[in-house]
Amino acid sequence: MNREPLAIGLVLPDVLGTYGDDGNALVLRQRARMRDIPAEIHRITLGEPVPESLDVYTIGGGEDTAQILAAEHLIADGGLSRAAAAGRPMIAICAGLQVLGESFRVGDRVVDGVGLIDATTAAMAERAIGELASTPTGAGASAGLTEPLTGFENHLGATILGPDAQPLGKVTHGNGNADETAAQTAASEGRGDGTQTGVDGAVQGSVIATYMHGPVLARNPQLADLLLAQAMGIAPAELEPLEIPVIDRLRMERLARRH
Nearest to 228 by CA among 242, 213, 214: 242
| Dihedrals phi, psi of 223, to nearest 5 degrees | -65, -40
**Is there a binding annotation on residue 127?**
yes
What positions carry a catalytic annotation? 94, 213
The annotated binding site for substrate is made up of 127
